[in-house]
Amino acid sequence: MPPDGEDKIPSSPGLESNTLRQQIRVSAGGTALRLVISNELGETDLEIRSATVAKLADPFRPDIDVSTLAALTYGGSGSFAVPAGKSVVTDALDYPFEALGDLALTLSLGAVPKALTCHTASRCYAWVTEGDRASDAGFESFQRMTSWYFIQRLETPAAADRFTFVTLGDSLTDGASIPDNSFARYSDELARRICADGGLSGCGVAAMGIGGTAFCTFNSPIDGSKRVERDVLGVPGVKYLILMMGTNDIGYSGGDVSQKIIGEYKVLLEKCHSRGIKVIGMTVTPNKGSGHYSAEKEQMRKAVNRFILSPDSGFDGRIDIASVVASPDDPEKMAECYNSDSWHDWLHFNPTGYTKIGATVYEYLKSFAKEK
C-alpha cells in the first residue's frame, strides 16, 4: 500500500542510494529462507545494490550479530533490480533460525521509485542510514521509521505435515494502537501459542492485516476482495484463513451494506475452497462509543454476524469473537478492559484485548486444525 502521509516517507536521509534495515519476528523457524521483495506500486525499477540477513540483537536498535550475517542473492547475483509493478523472490539461502526470533533484513538501495510499496503500520522499528552499510554491525546515525518498505514476506521450507495460517483483516488484525515493538497483534499471540503447541509447532502464521481494509466501501487497492489473490492464495502452504473483516464497510457506509458484505464473503469462500483452503469466520466486533457506531449500523453488524454464525454460511468454522470482547453490561460495546489505552476510541483494542482474541482463536484452532 502507498504511504498515507509524508511522515511515512524517509527523508533524513532518504532511501535512494542509502541503506534500509528492517526487522521481522518470524512465526516459525527453519533451516533456509528466501525473501519476497515487492515493487508492486513503483512506476520505475527498484535497484538493490546488496541485501543481507542477520539476527537482530535488540528490536529497539539497528544492531545485528555479525556472526550470523549472510548475503541474499537473486539469480546468483548480489545486486539486482525489482521491475516496476513486480516482485522478485531471492535465491534460497541455507540459514538456520528459530521460531519467534528477530531477523534484520538490510537493503543497500540504488534508484528508488517515487511511489513506495510499503506497509505503513509495521509497528516495529526500521532504520535508514547514509551510504552502503548493509553489512555493518550497527549504525551511528539514522532515521527511525515504523513502516515496512518493499518486504512482502519471508518464506522458509516446512515439513510435509506443517502448514500456514493466514490472518486477513483490517486495522483490528493489524494491531492498531499497540506500542511499537510490542508484538501484540492477535496474530502475534496466536503465533506464540502455536509455537508452544506440540501438535502445531512448526506451522506458520502469516499476518495479513492492513488498516483501512474493507470489502466494498472504498474501491481501493487494499480492498479485501483485491487482496485475496496475493495475501491468501499467494501464500505458500496456506491451509487455513482466519477472516475478520467488515468493520470498515459498515462504519463508513452511506446505507445498508450488509448484503454486499455477505456477497463478498461468499466470493472469498468460493475462491479459497477452490484451492482447498478452509476459512474460519470471525464476527464483527462491537464498537458503540466510536465514530463507526449508529443504531442503523448496529443493525447491519448484527445482520452480518448472524450470517457468519449460521451453519449454512459456507464458513468452515466460526468464532463469535464479538461476544468474547463485548461488555457484559452492553453487548453493543466492547468491554472497557479491552479498549485501546492510547486511542481510547471504543473501536480498537489494547494489548490485553488483542491477546484475548489471539488466545480465543488458538483455543478454537488447536482442535479444529487437528481434527481436519
Q: What is the pLDDT of residue 1?
A: 56
**Angular region, 45: left φ>0, alpha ψ -120 to 50, beta rest:** beta
Q: What is the pLDDT of residue 3?
A: 53
Q: What is the pLDDT of residue 2?
A: 53
Task: Give the residue among 222, 117, 158 at the shortest CA–CA distance from 26.
Answer: 158
Task: Give the residue among 230, 196, 229, 15 at the shortest CA–CA distance from 111.
Answer: 15
CA distance 224 to 214: 6
- Is residue 114 packed enough to be buried (19+ CB in 10 Å), middle (13-18) or exposed (0-12)? exposed
Q: Which residues of the chain have pLDDT under 70?
A: 1-5, 370-372
Are the C-beta atoms of 59 and 102 separated by less than 8 Å? Answer: yes
Are the C-beta atoms of 102 and 55 separated by less than 8 Å? Answer: yes
- Cβ within 8 Å of residue 269, ≥6 positions away: 279, 314, 315
Whether cis (ω within 30° of 0) applies to the bond prior to 179 is: no
Angle at 159 between CA 153 and CA 165, to 5 degrees: 45
